[in-house]
Amino acid sequence: MSTPRIEVDLSKVRHNTQTVVKRLEKRGINVTGVTKASCGNPNVAEAMLCGGALGLADARLSNVQRLRTAGLTCPITLIRTPMLSQAEQVVQICDTSYNTEIVVIAALAAAAIRKNTVHDIILMVEMGDLREGILPENLATIAQYVMRLPGVALKGIGSNFACLSGIPPNASKMAALCDLATETEGVCGTFLKTVSGGGSASLPWALGRQSKGRINDLRLGEAILLGVDPVTGDQIGGLYTDAFTLVAEVIETDTEPVFPPANFGDPALVRLHLVPNSGHTTRLLLAIGYQDTDVSGLSMPSGHTFVDATSDHLVICTNRSPLPVGAELRFQMNYKALMQAMAAPDIDTRLLHDRSSMRSRDIQGTSKDLASV
Ligand X SMILES: *Cc1c(COP(=O)(O)O)cnc(C)c1O
Interface residues with ligand X (CB under 6 A)? Answer: 34, 36, 59, 79, 160, 199-201, 219-223, 230
Are residues 73 and 49 in contact, defined by beta-carbon separation less than 8 angstroms?
no
Q: Indicate the residue type of 225.
A: L
Report how far residue 24's alpha carbon sits from residue 335's, in angstroms, rounded to the nearest whole number: 22
Closest distance to ligand X from the beta carbon of 371 (Å):
20
Closest distance to ligand X from the beta carbon of 267 (Å):
39
Q: Indicate the residue type of 126.
A: E
Name which of 12 and 304 has its Cβ closer to ligand X.
12
Closest distance to ligand X from the beta carbon of 81 (Å):
9
Report how far residue 246's alpha carbon sits from residue 228's, in angstroms, rounded to the nearest whole number: 17
Closest distance to ligand X from the beta carbon of 97 (Å):
11
Query: Residue 3: helix, strand or coil by DSSP?
Result: coil
Name which of 53 and 317 has its Cβ closer to ligand X.
53
Name which of 47 and 284 has its Cβ closer to ligand X.
47
Name which of 48 and 152 has its Cβ closer to ligand X.
48
Name which of 157 and 286 has its Cβ closer to ligand X.
157
Closest distance to ligand X from the beta carbon of 69 (Å):
22
Are residues 122 and 97 in contact, defined by beta-carbon separation less than 8 angstroms?
yes
Closest distance to ligand X from the beta carbon of 77 (Å):
9
Name which of 74 and 316 has its Cβ closer to ligand X.
74
Closest distance to ligand X from the beta carbon of 219 (Å):
4
Q: Which of 82, 156, 89, 159 is nearest to 124 (CA)?
A: 159
Name which of 162 and 317 has its Cβ closer to ligand X.
162
Cα 86 to Cα 81, 159, 214, distances in angstroms: 11, 23, 32
Report how far residue 356's alpha carbon sits from residue 373's, in angstroms, rounded to the nearest whole number: 15
Closest distance to ligand X from the beta carbon of 356 (Å):
26
Name which of 132 and 362 has its Cβ closer to ligand X.
132
With b for 16 or more beta-carbon neighbours within 10 A and e for fewer, the 305-332 pattern comes to ebbebeeebbbbbbeeebbeeeeebebb
Q: Residue 235: what are its φ and ψ, rounded to 5°? A: -65, 140
Report how far residue 128's alpha carbon sits from residue 173's, in angstroms, rounded to the nearest whole number: 9
**Residue at shortest CB range from ligand X:** 221
Are residues 76 and 55 in contact, defined by beta-carbon separation less than 8 angstroms?
yes
Closest distance to ligand X from the beta carbon of 2 (Å):
28
Cα angle: 117, vertex 120, 123; to 5 degrees: 150
Name which of 202 and 253 has its Cβ closer to ligand X.
202
Q: Which of 96, 188, 198, 192 is nearest to 146 (CA)?
A: 188
